[in-house]
A and B are shown apart, each in its own frame.
Chain A
Amino acid sequence: MVIKVEDALRADRLTELKHPDEAAGVPAVARKEGRAPQIVPDANQQTPAVGQRVTRPDSRPHITGQTRYIDDLSFPNMLHMKILRSEHAHARIRAIDVSEAEKMPGVVATLTGREIPVNSFGPSYQDQPVLADEKVRHMGDGVVAVAAETEQLAQDALARIKVEYEPLPLVLDPLEAMNDDAPKIHGDSNIYATKAIRKGDVESALAEADLVMEGRFSTQMVEHVPMEPHATIAMWEPDGRLKILSSLGRITLGRADVARTLDMPVNRIQIVGTIVGGNFGGKNEITTEPVLALLARKTGRPVKGVFTRQDEFVSSTTRHPFIMDYRTGVRKDGRILARKVRIVADGGAYCSWSETTLGKGAILSVGPYRIDHLEVKAYAVYTNKTTCGAMRGFGAPQVCFGYESHMDDIARELGIDPLEIRLRNAFDEGSSSPTGQVLHSVAVKESLETVAHRVGWREQTS
């Protein structure tokens, strides 16, 4: 893309924009007392539009409770779906008996994994069944879905379903899962993704360092906890097209996944992404959409499925726990010469976005620092736990905790101020990234100086 001079000039105007009140010279007193509106033009009506503190068109309905989320929507004859989840973290499914549940008044249909035309999905590898059919790999695996006249009837019916399991040995610790003799969750290895970054000669550079620091850092599994849980309504239109209203954040790819699992042409499916009550990465792939579609087809009625908070915790994706080993060689003046990083990401039972999270985490794990000699090795590992997937930061909060804790340890060992050691190593405009990319519009030092200035970092020693 060509850099236009007028764009660059405009940048100055854009970044120097003040609050509209301030820009219009409204006295602070008037602003506080709310007398400004007569004088201050509405930001939504201003040109140029970029840089304006425009208010969101959806803020008023959100605040006044008029926003309609999926759970607020209802259609004539709509049924409600609930899912029976696994009783074991790792087991073979021997038999499923839904006959008692189906006899219950108000229960209209059930669905098992074997009824799904293509019972697998996943953004990198299609290793996840929509409903588990042969094997369950964690406690959140759905096994049977029930559609009933009310949510409560659907919930009650779950207790009448009999599933016979053959428990299998399980593995919960990602480091144990990497051992050859660990129980295998899919195929013949639990390591399903590896990433490597190599640059320079890390061993020689470590040998030349004045100090070599080591540290292990680890992070936990957390949930996105959106206020609105996953919610979907599926219905078949009279012309035979499938319509899905969903809290999905990625409708184009969601439609492709639904088409694949249902073995249907893409143009016969409409997905409407409704107003989403929080996503944070957790609503980036399909969950129950194909199940609801098939139950709607079986019953000829719209079917709604809304996760409970417990469903949200146990069956939706979570943030990967990382185990990170750092080894860094530095000069006495704080310049980093070499860094080795090893990362193990606990991916839980299915790949989901682990492969890509691992890639991003591996690249970012070096930190925003100029380091010529590098070696990063990262592994994603299956365990019989809740699936880890996309979550705000995608591996970055984990590795940032690693490289920045490690950085302070190095600074303390060398007797250098934590701000100064970062400034001595931070990327500049044109620096080479760990993957050898020449970086542009770099602002690490500016960011550090901005926070340092605001807190008076250099004025007070702690």
Chain B
Amino acid sequence: MRHRGRGIACMWYPIGFTVAANPSAAVVKVNEDGSATVLTGTVETGQGALTVLGQIAAEELGIAADDVHLVSGDTDATPMDTGAIASRTTYVTGNAIQMAAAEAKKILFEVAAPMLGVRPEQLEARDRRIQVIGFPQKNLPIGEVAHHAQVVMGRPPLGSASYNPPTVAMDPETGQGKPFSTYVYAAQVAEVEVDDETGEVEVLRIVAAHDCGTPINPTLVEGQVEGGISMGVGLALQEEILFDAEGRQINPNLTNYIMPTSLDMPEVEVDIVKNYDPTGPFGAKGVGEPTSVPTAAAIANAIYDAVGVRIHSLPATSEKVLMALREKRAMQKQIPAE
């Protein structure tokens, strides 16, 4: 018989390295037509980081995502970056890019101010224009300002900056300190069906709510959550590297190391929790790793809810669930009264 159950789990997760310095540096160049080129030492590892970083540069410069091109991943051409690790790219590299873009924008403002007859601090960059704050009709296209800056004034608008999250070392005895600048939070609910004859667990639905500060690109946040959940399902139910007594892996292949495929994926519903972190670029934090954190716990709790057995060790394979069910049934049998 199949039994339904649901389980909940929540988590917290830090952005960046534990105490250790993990800086990112960036260079932003505004070209003579108002488009921009960003140099970053991070690498696109498939998560869409470059798209998000481009949006951060575009936002600061008041231009659109397509107006920004990113040059990345070349130690000869790009400034240092601690890399695509620790869910740090949006927050740390993003802050560096925002700061570098602000430097470039400062030059644009200084060049535009006399053209518009105002002081630089009275200007803002918005909708591909440099405009007077409060008087948006007084404006110049950013391309015109950038061209004037480079070709007439001889001041190419570019900026460079670096960012390192502020931390405080942990006391070696008590661990007290400020190991991270900021954290993200999340909760997931899993709905499962457990077959009490085979021990098989089917995950029907996962509902996920993730805080990432400002979602710079909601589509990419949702993509991260969905991908993280697939890893979480594998950790919960299927994946395990097994060793023989000599220390040899016995399943180092995708025939015997079973990963979830699209057919194993439950319905996934993602909510992005409204939040804003003043220390992140435009309020953003990050989302990469946390997405795979609460899934296995939520599934394990759903298994308990469905059939009343606590899985103490992952993965909750059919064999393990069945053994636990047998043990539970054996314990439930009463010694007959005399």
B191 (CB) vs chain A CBs: closest residue:
A455
- Which residues of chain A are near B144, meaning CB under 8 Å? none
- Which residues of chain B are near A362, meaning CB under 8 Å? 175
Partner of B83, one of A219, A252, A356, A405: A252
Min Cβ gap A59→B in Å is 9
- Which residues of chain A are near B141, meaning CB under 8 Å? none
Q: How large is the interface on B (under 10, 10 to 19, 20 to 34, 35 or more residues)?
A: 35 or more
Instruction: Tell me whether A356 and B17 are in contact (CB under 8 A).
Output: yes
Residue-wise interface mask of A (318-332) relative to B, using a CB-CB cutoff of 8 A (1 in contact, 0 not): 110000000000000
Instruction: Tell me whether A276 and B44 are in contact (CB under 8 A).
Output: yes
* Total CB contacts across the A-B interface at under 8 A: 407
- Which residues of chain A are near B45, meaning CB under 8 Å? 249, 276, 278-279, 283
Q: Does B323 contact A (CB under 8 A)?
A: no
Which of A112-120, A127-135, A156-164, A195-203 forms contacts with chain B? A195-203
- Which residues of chain B are near A284, meaning CB under 8 Å? 83-85
Partner of A314, one of B84, B183, B234, B252: B252
Q: Does A424 contact B (CB under 8 A)?
A: no
Expressed in whole angstroms, the Cα–Cα distance for A140 and B85 within the complex equals 24
Which of B115-123, B153-161, B205-213, B328-336 forms contacts with chain A? B205-213
A19 (CB) vs chain B CBs: closest residue:
B218
Instruction: Tell me whether B6 and A404 are in contact (CB under 8 A).
Output: no
Instruction: Tell me whether A363 and B10 are in contact (CB under 8 A).
Output: no
Q: Does A376 contact B (CB under 8 A)?
A: yes
Instruction: Tell me whether B177 and A54 are in contact (CB under 8 A).
Output: no
- Which residues of chain B are near A11, meaning CB under 8 Å? 214, 276, 283
- Which residues of chain B are near A92, meaning CB under 8 Å? none
- Which residues of chain A are near B126, meaning CB under 8 Å? 47-48
Expressed in whole angstroms, the Cα–Cα distance for A460 and B106 within the complex equals 57
Q: Does B65 contact A (CB under 8 A)?
A: yes
Q: Does A236 contact B (CB under 8 A)?
A: no
Expressed in whole angstroms, the Cα–Cα distance for A301 and B68 within the complex equals 37
Which A positions have Cβ atoms within 8 angstroms of B?
A: 1, 3, 7-8, 10-11, 14-17, 19, 42-58, 88-90, 138-140, 170, 172, 195-199, 215-223, 225, 248-253, 255, 269-281, 283-284, 309-310, 313-314, 318-319, 356, 359-360, 362-364, 367-368, 376, 384-386, 390, 392-394, 396-397, 400-401, 403-405, 408-409, 418-419, 422, 426-427, 433-437, 439-444, 446-448, 450-452, 454-455, 457, 462
- Give me the 7 closest cross-chain CB pairs, A-B, nearest first: A89-B247, A250-B83, A273-B73, A197-B175, A313-B252, A49-B58, A11-B276
Which B positions have Cβ atoms within 8 angstroms of A?
A: 4-14, 17-18, 20, 41, 43-46, 48, 50-51, 54-56, 58-59, 62-66, 68, 72-76, 80-86, 126-128, 168, 170, 172-180, 182-189, 191, 205, 207-211, 213-220, 228, 231-232, 234-235, 239-241, 243, 245-249, 252-254, 257, 259, 269, 271-279, 282-285, 288-290, 292-298, 300-301, 304-305, 310-315
18 contacts between A and B (CB under 8 A): A47-B58, A50-B59, A51-B216, A222-B239, A225-B257, A250-B82, A376-B175, A386-B249, A392-B231, A393-B290, A404-B301, A408-B301, A440-B279, A441-B285, A444-B185, A447-B210, A448-B8, A454-B209
